[in-house]
Chain A
Amino acid sequence: MSEHAADHHHGPDKGFLRWVYTTNHKDIGTMYLLLALAALLVGGVMAFVIRAELFEPGLQLVDPNFFNQMTTMHGLIMVFGAIMPAFVGLANWLVPMMIGAPDMALPRINNWSFWLLPFAFGMLFSTLFMEGGAPNFGWTFYAPLSTDYAPPSVTFFIFSVHIMGISSIMGAVNVIVTIFNMRAPGMTFMKMPLFVWTWLITAFLLIAVMPVLAGVVTMMLMDIHFGTSFFNAAGGGDPVMFQHVFWFFGHPEVYIMILPAFGVVSHIISTFSRKPLFGYTSMVWATASIAILSFIVWAHHMFTVGLPLVGELFFMYSTMLIAVPTGVKVFNWVTTMFKGSMTFETPMLFAIAFVVLFTIGGLSGLMLAIAPADFQYHDTYFVVAHFHYVLVPGALFSILAAVYFWLPKWCGRMYDEALGKWHFWMSFVAVNITFFPMHFIGLAGMPRRIPDYALQFADFNAIVSVGAFLFGFSQLIFVYNLWKTVILRKGEAATQEVWEDAEGLEWTVPSPAPYHTFAEPPQVK
């Protein structure tokens, strides 16, 4: 190796500037994950406000306008601040190591993608302190509530979304370019680990829909400040058009938040079942099918806006179709476990809970697809239960599973298994106490996004609130476990393989993974 090349094998810079200037995929991955954790806690506090107010009927703590700000900010922060950055963080850490690449293909863009986000979220968060308050029109920001009737802070919300969108698009481009160009010799597409596959498909979804989101918020900006009437019926515009454009982004967005989870869970279930993943090829095709279908189902979020009958039927059928590839994935995971030799370390527990609870969320999704029945479910707590089942014990559990699974590789120490199990069981019980009763109150007729409710919903709401607080506080166990492992460095040193017979290139480098890995590409057989 030449002296010049050796020069570049220095470790990280010291101090704060290391994190500002870094172009290293591992540093950037860590920063994304920490940002996501911070957003999870902030969004969680907002959920606490919501659940405290809903603990019993009547207004106790906040006024309805502030309640709406909390539901809006909770949704925005969890979707754009917690789940999405967490998956980008995982992609940064894992994609180069899984394909045998030294780093992401575009490291400086990678740095910029990350550093845009603290500013975007700083701007979004600052709206809470502005006159008129934060955005209060729901994370779906339907016009004209979000245009003619919005608080002045909506403009800051729009710019914040623009910046997040730029960050996401650059991140997605980076993932695609890395995967296309930097795979180790011998790593053909159909040999790529599923996490890489699911992220590749996710990245295409991001590139396709983030510009649509940018478009829709720009039209809002025009309506608010420049006198246009894109969404104002009185000026010849169309408020329903807003919803079409929003959901054309919004539905693929839902899959952006779940496809990488599918990848994570596939790795973990196979590792702890000590068995190769069942149906790798069909997993890849199922993921691609879900992604493609996600572009033609958007109006199932709009069954009650008065679509024509034929439109209603089309979107009902296409939505029902999604159940097929999703079912294939679930069946494959179950079959992977079948006749395996299973152990139940924390990542596996979270992964199994993912399969069960995500399936419950998927099945309620199937119910929601039936348009006539959806007239009874739409915009009730049944929907709230449905999407929280896919996003909390779905996306979030998969992220937690991934952190426990790869943390020893990242920091070189095993986490505290007993604390991990406490974290799992508390979360598992609490998440069901929180979200399962929501199905019933929704079916019984409680609309979502209301600060107060009729008396027949009181008992279940109290239970839900207790569950939510329990769930929130359980996450502190996770934070403590991370602290103990990463900062205090308690816990035994991790081996290179970490888990028995773990498959994949990331397990062929030492633990902790050196600052630079795969300077020489490995050969994949």
Chain B
Amino acid sequence: MNRVGISAVSALLLMTASFSALADWGLNVPKGVTSVSHQVHDLHMTIFYICVVIAVIVFGVMLYSIVYHRKSRGAKASNFHESTTVEIIWTLIPLLILVGMAVPATSTLIDMYDHSDAELDVQITGYQWKWRYTYVNEQVDFFSNLSTTQEQIENQQEKGENYLLEVDNPLVLPVGTKVRFLLTAEDVIHSWWVPDLAVKKDTIPGFINEAWTKIEEPGIYRGQCTELCGAGHGYMPVVVKAVPKEEFDSWITEQSKLQAAAREVRDMSFDELMAQGEAVYKTYCAACHKVDGSGMPPVFPALKDSAIALGDITKHIDIVVNGKKGTAMAAFGGQLSVSDIASVVTYERNAWGNSKGDFATPKQIKAFKDNNK
């Protein structure tokens, strides 16, 4: 074997070896924890190796020519410039490789599209910029927000291990159960992706997409929104917590009870409202209006000293409940409970030097929403 051949083969070996090493460092598509994700990983590796082989052959011939057929070595140019046979050969061989590749890809795809016989339905709704998970038959429904602090993002605090990939409420799923996802969005298009499940599906306003998974191992699997959805696109991670079936059953029963209790309208003290309001504000409002209420004018107005927060409380409630059309201000009436809205309005009127002194009550919000219908 000549020098070029040897170097080509060793390059191939080196690339292969380094690639499997990279996989260990988490720099390759993960094998994942479902049968589909395993199939996808295998397809990925197969097509990758095919590409490597093609590249080595093509670049090998090129390198050989560059080394040996150079004028400075006295190479004389041949004059051949056509061969139908050769053209046919290098049309047919790639075609055959592609057919060979299409077969397993097709069967994996058919598997991925088989949404039948699901044991659990979860609706996933994309919002700017958070996910909402609704367990369709269980009366359990919650939002999942980024839990990384604004201070970490702005480099005022050390970044945690799961920086930008952590949420307040993960999607809890049972292992060994076929779960069907029904995906949609409330505002713009988002895309729900968990690499370990090999599930990536766009959530589109007005559409319901389907996807499914059957997780084999308990664990925490992280992903992100993968469709540009505005300023907070980088800040809506997906966290799936897969637990054994029994644990899931007790979790969902407990959640169902808690949520029923939370839906009741009760009286709250000013301090209670302020405390809850601060938490709600940090989760839902601070990404645009900032922790200190200074906003990012002109797109995201300041709430500190603002006409809304210091003006008529009904207008303030209206804008929180119904949003402001034509702007990024979403309608939170359908997303937050009445106590959450009452507390966040109260908080905004009395925080960061705003000292309006008045407050909204959950009953007031409920009455407002009832009138609004």
Contact = CB atoms under 8 A, between A and B. Distances in A.
B54 interface: yes
Interface stretch (B150-158, B252-260, B278-286): B150-158
Nearest to B107: A372
Contacts of B233: 64, 68, 447, 449-450
Contacts of A133: 299
B40 A375 contact: yes
A451 interface: yes
Contacts of A274: 71, 77
Nearest to A305: B202
A372 B112 contact: yes
A120 to B, nearest CB: 24
* Interface range on chain A (Cβ under 8 Å from partner): 35 or more
A372 B108 contact: yes
Contacts of B59: 356, 359
A240 interface: yes
Interface string A334-362: 11111111111000000010011001100
B51 A363 contact: yes
Contact of B159 (A57, A343, A364): A57
B171 interface: no
A379 B233 CA distance: 12
Contacts of B69: 273, 337-342
A180 interface: no
B164 interface: yes
Nearest to A363: B51
Interface stretch (B206-214, B242-250, B266-274, B310-318): B206-214
A300 to B, nearest CB: 12
Contacts of B109: 309, 312-313, 316, 371-372
B107 to A, nearest CB: 9
Nearest to B210: A306
A50 interface: no
Nearest to A372: B108
A372 B43 contact: yes
A304 B204 CA distance: 11
Is chain B's binding surface mostly helix, strand, loop or mixed?
mixed
B11 interface: no
A320 interface: yes
B230 A132 contact: no
B234 to A, nearest CB: 3
B1 interface: no
Contacts of B261: none
Contacts of A182: none
Contact of B28 (A280, A444, A460): A444
A190 interface: no
Contacts of A281: 82
Contacts of A317: 102
B154 A344 contact: no
Interface stretch (A76-84, A85-93, A321-329, A406-414): A321-329
Contacts of B373: none
Interface string A258-277: 00000000000000011111
A342 B159 contact: no
A383 to B, nearest CB: 10
Contact of A335 (B44, B48, B86): B86
A452 B153 contact: yes
Contacts of B54: 363
A413 to B, nearest CB: 24
B262 interface: no
Contact of B62 (A277, A334, A456): A334
Interface stretch (A5-13, A138-146, A195-203): A138-146
A455 interface: yes
Contacts of A440: 22, 27-28
Interface in B213-241: 223-235
B162 interface: yes
A280 B81 contact: yes
A237 to B, nearest CB: 8
A352 B155 CA distance: 44
A234 B205 contact: yes
A248 B62 CA distance: 35
B85 to A, nearest CB: 11
B105 A366 contact: no
A441 interface: yes
Contacts of A443: 27-29
Given A132-B299, A145-B230, A273-B77, A337 B198 contact: no
A111 B155 CA distance: 52
B275 interface: no
Given A380-B226, A445-B223, A276 B153 contact: no
B39 interface: yes
B62 A352 contact: yes
Interface in A352-401: 352, 355-356, 359-360, 363-364, 366-367, 370-373, 375-380
Given A132-B298, A278-B80, A313-B106, A142 B228 contact: yes
Interface string A281-313: 110000000000000000000001110010011
Nearest to A137: B228
B159 A376 contact: no
A238 interface: yes
A63 interface: yes
A306 to B, nearest CB: 4
Contacts of B77: 273-275, 339-341
Given A142-B189, A372-B108, A376-B195, A149 B328 contact: yes
Nearest to A330: B58
Given A58-B153, A304-B202, A343-B70, A370 B47 contact: yes
Interface string B55-71: 10011011011100111
Given A275-B77, A452-B235, A453-B164, 8 more contacts: A58-B153, A145-B230, A149-B328, A233-B204, A276-B79, A331-B58, A359-B55, A371-B109
Interface of B: 22, 26-30, 36, 39-40, 43-44, 47-48, 51, 54-55, 58-59, 61-62, 64-66, 69-72, 75-83, 86-87, 90-91, 94-95, 98, 101-102, 105-106, 108-110, 112-113, 128, 152-155, 159, 161-165, 183, 187-189, 191, 193, 195, 198-202, 204-207, 209-210, 223-235, 296, 298-299, 326, 328
17 contacts: A57-B159, A58-B154, A58-B159, A145-B228, A239-B189, A275-B78, A320-B101, A328-B91, A334-B58, A339-B75, A339-B77, A372-B36, A376-B200, A443-B29, A447-B226, A453-B164, A455-B163
The 4 closest A-B pairs by CB, nearest first: A233-B206, A450-B234, A306-B209, A363-B51
